[in-house]
Amino acid sequence: MSPIVCAGNSATMTATENNLRAKIRLDDVGKTADGRRAVAYRVELRSSTCNSIISGVATYFSNTDDAGDDSAYLPNGYAVQINAFKDKTQSGEIKMFVDVESKRPRYVYFSVTHATVISNGCVPAEGFGIGFYSKSAYKRMVSP
């Protein structure tokens, strides 16, 4: 499996959807006791009516997404290999599809299901999902 982030570094991406501003930070925390890859995440959600932070450590779950795909397309038209990571928190069930091909992820899809409704929170009870792309995901690669 390719690295998720450079050793000792983190990856941060932002997204905006329906007036909700979101920021995700990922840190590669190595492997769990059972040998699965683990990724620490922190997601900050903000709008004019809410503020929420969801954080935890998600562990490797699968080489594919829910549809059985092992890659995701970036806005620049290129595809990257993804892995699925899961976590259960007080905020709900977390699932992330993370670009594991790039030195630093250029894509993360983050979702929460079975969400607990937190006062002044940005996550509805039915959950939500949001896609994050790095700035480099929008740049066209130049062929040699």
Distance CA 26, CA 134 (A): 12
- Whether 102 is covered by a domain: the verdict is yes
**Mean of the per-residue pLDDT values for the chain?**
85
> What pLDDT does 83 receive?
93
Tally of structural domains, the chain: 1
116 part of a folded domain: yes
Task: Considering only residues 63 and 143, tell me which one the structure prediction assigns the higher pLDDT.
Answer: 63
Q: Is residue 45 part of a domain?
A: yes
The domain of 55 spans 10-133
Is 143 contained in some domain?
no
Share of the chain above pLDDT 90, in %: 45
Indicate whether 5 belongs to any domain: no
pLDDT (0 to 100) of residue 75? 87
Measured CA to CA in angstroms, residue 117 lies from 87, 109, 123 at distances of 18, 21, 7
More confident residue, 6 or 131: 131
Q: How far apart are CA 53 and CA 121, in angstroms?
A: 9
pLDDT exceeds 80 at position 118 = no
Calculate what percentage of the chain has a pLDDT beyond 70. 88
Predicted TM-score (pTM) of this structure: 0.85
Is 106:133 a contact under the CB 8 Å cutoff?
yes
Judge whether 68 lies within some domain: yes
Alpha carbons 133 and 15: distance in angstroms, whole number: 7
Measured CA to CA in angstroms, residue 31 lies from 36, 60, 78, 106, 144 at distances of 5, 9, 29, 21, 36
Tens of pLDDT, residue by residue over 53-92, are 899 999 999 888 888 888 888 888 888 999 999 999 887 8
Instruction: Please state the rounded mean pLDDT for residues 1-21.
Output: 70
Q: Residue 71 class from Cβ within 10 Å (0-12 exposed, 13-18 middle, 19+ buried)? A: middle
Is residue 35 within 8 Å of residue 60, measured between CB atoms? no
Question: What pLDDT score was predicted for residue 7?
Answer: 41
